[in-house]
Chains A and B, each alone.
Chain A
Amino acid sequence: MEHTLNKVFQGFYKDSVALMRLSRDLAAMDGVNEAALMMGSPSNKQILKDAGLLADDGATAEGGDLILAVRAKDSDAAKKAAEVIETQIMSQTRAATGDTVWQPQTIRAAAKANPDANLALISVPGEFAAAEARKAISRGLNVMMFSDNVSIEDEISLKVQAREQGVLMMGPDCGTAILDGVPLAFANKVTTGDIGIVGASGTGIQEVTTLISNNGGGISQAIGVGGRDLKDEIGGISTLMAIDRLDADPATKHIVLISKPPGKNVLPRILERVGQSAKPFTICFIGASDLELPSNATAARTLKDAAQAALGGDAFAEPAVSGVSVPKGRTGIRGLYSGGTLAAETQLILLDAGLKVASNAAVPGAGSLSDAGDMHKIIDLGDDEYTQGRPHPMIDPEIRRDPLAAALADSTVDVVLIDIVIGYGAHPDPAGQLAEMLSTMQRADNPTIIASVTGTEQDPQIRSSQIQSLQAAGILVAGSNADAAMAALKLLGINS
């Protein structure tokens, strides 16, 4: 039988909003039909009466008394619910959610809250990215735009606006930067030093900065400019501004440029600017040949060459990659890359050794994957065709599973080349993930796998731990991506 229970707490005060909240909780309990907690003023007692909640106990309450009123399906349910809520009334616990920290939702508010900030990192869907970047630039903020799918027209207008404001527009599609020692987006924790980097390529910057850092050098700034900056339409606006900054920076003694070959019209402008500087430059335009460089610049064919040149030109001490016998009838190399520039570097090394190479991201001289025939196949798994609707392989290496299984089962493949890119933004344990992947695959009489780890000991994944995981899985580990490619050549008996 329905039962109305009143409990009076004499001389006990609680704020009305707190009481309304408790009322809501009480009313939601099992078997409760109606409930309220109110101070016992005449008007409140009238409200309780109108709601059919006032019993004899409650009717005697006074203004300073708290009335707990509950109407439930039976007296047991009423008593039980009242007991639960009574503990809540008496406990002085904080709000259940605890403190929440305010996060600005707009660039304007974020800039107001952090008046010393001088850079906005923009990572929103491409259709909104340009509008956000404009707001940041007009506030005098440098911009790193991680977003892609921004039109070339927007990129031009943003970079022109940035130049007028005297701020750097890094990107769109700028995946990597290290500014004042802070790694941004996909980047590594490297030693601070006197080498400045300007790069249109994310993994290119990561490979060069980590090789420099791992071989005794350090980075002053690594400035990404976005993959299209050195196209003729854009005109290298950000590259030129980045060179200006590093040229004027007393902490930078040597400057490295990393990019795909620039557009025909842009190239002379870049080289002219380089020639105006008193600082030495290393220029790594992956796939470009026959560059006529100013006297303060040296060309680097590969990323490893660039890192070596920046450190004075001495060859790095190469960790030995012990040879494995070549199974008969197999001569093919298969590269499965997460880093586009690393895939390009490998293509160059194979091409330079006289091999025929095909790729879905072909460098000059390489063929297209669609009619690869018996050519060596170097696949960029970060290309749009693989990443539609899924994360980049540096974030989720799962994309590599099917191509890897296919390579292991392919009777023509002798060596599989793999890049493991670690650092901020990357998968927390890509080597472990690869080892797990391999453990599920048939490995009898299958190709040799050679990998390199782009990263440092200071990265969250720790380079040496990643190497250990790879070695434990039977993978050969080279000192750099270029070394891995060279080791593959050696295994095939080709002397480059």
Chain B
Amino acid sequence: MDIIEKANEEAIRRMLGAEPVLIEVVPAGDIVPNLRDKMILHAGPPIAWDRMCGPMQGAIAGITVFEGWASDLEQAVIMAASGDITFDANHHHDAVGPMTGMTTVSQPMLVVENKTTGNKSYCAINEGLGKVMRFGGNDAEVLNRLSWIRDVLGPAMGKALRDMGGIELKPLIARGLSMGDEMHQRNVACSGLVLRALAAAMAKTSDDATALSEALAFISANDQFHLNIAMAMGKAIMDPVRNIEGSSIVTAMSRNGTDFGIRVSGTGDEWFTAPVEMPEGLYFAGYTEADANPDMGDSTIVETIGLGGFAMGAAPAVAGFVGAGAASEAANYTHRMSEICAAENPEWTIPSMDYLGVPTGIDVRLVVDSGIAPTINTGIAHREPGIGQVGAGVVRAPMACFEQAVRRLAEKLGIS
């Protein structure tokens, strides 16, 4: 027991000691380790093509065309099914991606460096709402937007960030929490704060007023722009927490639309997986539960660091996706998550909850012992490829993942 407590203390020390900074934007091929041509990184634990859900296959077809490996979607599907394309999990390459989480060589990646430990993590730029690739969208509109992000927005942001010396994310999150964001479903405040931090440097480093205006307009119009930054930050915070002998703290939670997977510090890089569950929530006009795809994406890294469903108390509006949306209901989500976490974050606090720190460090023992599964705030994708987001809501991490992890950790520690 003592070894676990000590290991967890170290895990929490590393989490709270992290200094994540958004330093630049770089094409994935230049920076993501072991990423090569005709290779696609996806969200969640590793999965083969034939087990992938509709939106994941749709996104893969789209990105294959986008990269020019196939001339059309049909050919892309044939390539993907025949093994011409290599698949791997984002998490195996210091990267994360929302929903389908497509990462390929030519996409510009947000780079977050953890200044305390020097490790870097990567995430693609958020495409906006509606029909987008992360929800399996793959038509011309989707691909054109990706091209513009690659050719215009990515380079512009990269230049600005390098010029200004990056954006410190810890204080930005702290302010966002006090402004009603939980950084998974609601990023309105943080997206605004990022825009405010970037705008002057983007203007200074731009020599094309039209392109600059388009870039600023794109960020301004996207309430979820900050989500991908939060995700890269989450990965940068959690990676140094991996492989602490004996620690029962979760270092990653992630879903590929078929499986939900978690990794735990004391069990190294092993994935503990179980079938993903269906989110409960509200749907956009014209869609119902019948259209929904099961839970998907690496964005649960945000919950892993104590935000999203864990910081629901900061964002009562999000609690309205399930239940009646009372502020006390939102606070209850955060209280409940405190029951399964080792600590509270003294820097990330929720003003309306008397400055309670967000629950930090999911302990698999507490999850199994209490029967309380982590609550995740999530978008909901259409189950068929190419359609996109149809709603948003809340989903629980499957208990089976945590049970496996506890058993494996006990085995490793020689506890029967």
Contact = CB atoms under 8 A, between A and B. Distances in A.
Interface of A: 15, 17-18, 20-21, 23-24, 34-36, 38, 43, 47-48, 50-53, 69, 94-102, 104-106, 108-109, 112
A64 to B, nearest CB: 15
B285 A106 contact: no
B291 to A, nearest CB: 12
Nearest to A36: B285
B274 interface: no
Q: Give the most central of B129, B130, B284, B321: most A CB within 10 Å.
A: B284
Interface string B274-310: 0000000011111000000000000000000000000
Contacts of A24: 282-283
B32 to A, nearest CB: 31
Contacts of A36: 284-286
A106 B320 contact: no
Interface residues of B, number: 29
Nearest to A50: B286
Contacts of A23: 282, 285
Given A38-B285, A105-B336, A105-B372, 7 more contacts: A23-B285, A24-B283, A34-B285, A47-B286, A100-B326, A100-B332, A101-B328
**B contacts with A: majority SS:** mixed
- Smallest CB-CB A-B distances: 4 pairs: A51-B286, A36-B285, A95-B326, A95-B324
A383 B339 CA distance: 38
B23 interface: no
Interface string B309-332: 000000001101101111011011
A106 B337 CA distance: 11
B303 to A, nearest CB: 18
B283 to A, nearest CB: 8
Contacts, number: 85
A53 B286 CA distance: 9
Given A17-B317, A51-B285, A97 B329 contact: yes
A15 B317 CA distance: 8
Interface string B109-132: 000000000000000000001100
Q: Give the most central of A20, A43, A48, A51: most B CB within 10 Å.
A: A20
A47 B321 contact: no
A356 B329 CA distance: 63
B329 A69 contact: no
A53 B285 contact: yes
B318 A17 contact: yes
A100 B323 CA distance: 12
11 contacts: A15-B317, A17-B320, A18-B320, A20-B320, A20-B321, A96-B324, A100-B332, A102-B331, A106-B339, A108-B339, A108-B366
Given A101-B328, A108-B339, A17 B369 contact: no
B103 interface: no
B370 interface: yes
Interface in B260-282: 282
Contacts of B320: 17-18, 20-21
Contacts of B324: 95-97
Q: Give the most central of A21, A35, A50: most B CB within 10 Å.
A: A21
Contacts of B130: 43, 47
B366 A106 contact: yes
B285 A109 contact: no
B309 to A, nearest CB: 15
Interface in B325-367: 325-326, 328-329, 331-332, 335-336, 338-339, 366
Contact of B284 (A21, A47, A52, A105): A47
B338 A52 contact: no
A109 B366 CA distance: 11
Contact of A104 (B318, B339, B366): B339
